[in-house]
Amino acid sequence: MTTAKFQRNTPQRKVILAELRKTHSHPTATELYEIVRERLPKISLGTVYRNLELLTEMGAIRKLEILGKEARFDGDLSKHYHVRCVRCSRVDDLVGVHPEQTTEESGDVNGWKILERRVEFVGICPECQHLGETGVN
Ligand SMILES: [Zn+2]
Ligand SMILES: [Zn+2]
């Protein structure tokens, strides 16, 4: 079955991929669905989900697994860190902090072959900080 599902890029999948690459907001499937629906009014949320999973398996996009939260998706495959806001769950690229090359990243560690190092940054985004100051939040 795995060969059949990768066979062709459907027009829907192309739109989903194009829209995801356009945005830097790391949308959830639901958020991306709202964006894609403007171009494809008949698309369903299930279709968006399925295609995002497929694109992740194909290595065309990255899935950001966030514990206890809805997964977010990133069309930017370059190596970069993310920072997540503890208040509104917004995820930004951490600009200016580069994943440095270390021996652990390429070699074997305790018998494991390390593929990728994931570091999670969490914080409070500028907007939420501002809300805090004005006493709204
Ligand atoms: Zn925030
Ligand atoms: Zn990103």
Each residue of 9-57: pLDDT tens digit?
Answer: 789 999 999 999 999 999 999 999 999 999 999 999 999 999 999 999 9
What sign has the CA pseudo-torsion 59, 83, 129, 87? positive
Ranges in the chain annotated CATH 1.10.10.10: 1-77
Please answer whether residues 33 and 43 qualify as being in contact, where contact means their C-beta atoms are separated by less than 8 angstroms: yes
Provide, rounded to the nearest whole percent, the portion of the chain with pLDDT above 70: 83
Q: Where in the chain is the domain with CATH 3.30.1490?
A: 78-137
For residue 129, give the ligand nearest its CA: 1
pLDDT for the residue numbered 3: 52
* pLDDT exceeds cutoff 90 at 76: yes
Q: Distance from the CA of 123 to the center of ligand 2, in angstroms?
A: 16
Closest by CA to 16, choosing from 58, 47, 62, 57, is 47
- The pLDDT, as a whole number, for residue 113 is 80
Ligand nearest to the CA of 131: 1
Q: How far is the CA of 1 from the centre of ligand 2 (A)?
A: 31
The closest alpha carbon to 5, from 51, 48, 65, 74, belongs to 51
Distance CA 88, CA 125 (A): 8
d(CA 74, CA 3): 24
- The CATH code belonging to domain 78-137 is 3.30.1490
Q: Which ligand is in closest contact with the Cα of 122?
A: 1
Q: What spacing in Å lies between the alpha carbon of 9 and ligand 2's midpoint?
A: 23
CATH architecture of residue range(s) 1-77: Orthogonal Bundle (1.10)
pLDDT band at 81 (very low <50, low <70, confident <90, very high): confident
Spatial distance between the Cα atoms of 137 and 37, rounded to a whole number of angstroms: 32
Per-chain residues with Cβ under 5 A from ion ligand 1? 85, 87-88, 90, 125, 128
Å from CA of 9 to ligand 1 middle? 35
